């Protein structure tokens, strides 16, 4: 099996076999660990590579960083992000 085939097999069901399905409750960690390091300019482009189900991207959007985007290789993770309402999460190896 090629490296690419192994990668595709692993990430095809990443959420259900490894990551789980995200729920709420990440706002305190966002405020404590991430918000203090964000740029003052809310028009700054922020890209979250390996964004999973897009929780960070959604927090960024909710806090006014309108150009935030996320990318993840796992189609399952991206589908969960879309189901949760985040159209700013995209599937693929790179933007």
Summarised one tens digit per residue, pLDDT across range 4-35 is 777 677 667 666 665 555 555 678 888 989 99
Structure tokens at 19: 């990551």
Helices and strands (DSSP H and E) totals, the chain: 5, 3
Q: Which of 24, 30, 32 is nearest to 68 (CA)?
A: 30
CA distance 41 to 26: 23
- pLDDT for 40 equals 97
Residue 61 is predicted with a pLDDT of 95
Identify the three-state secondary structure at position 53. coil
Q: How far is CA 26 from CA 13, 41, 58, in A?
A: 23, 23, 11
Read off the pLDDT of each residue in 36-48 and give the average, rounded to a whole number.
96
The pTM score is 0.75
């Amino acid at each position: 099996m090629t490296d690419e085939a192994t990668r595709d097999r692993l990430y095809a069901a990443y959420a259900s076999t490894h990551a789980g399905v995200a729920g709420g409750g990440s706002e305190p960690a966002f405020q404590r660990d991430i918000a203090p390091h964000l740029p003052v300019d809310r028009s700054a482009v922020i890209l979250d590579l390996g964004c999973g189900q897009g929780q960070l991207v959604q927090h960024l959007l909710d806090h006014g960083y309108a150009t935030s985007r996320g990318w993840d290789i796992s189609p399952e993770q991206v589908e969960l992000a879309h189901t949760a309402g985040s159209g700013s999460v995209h599937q693929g190896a790179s933007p």
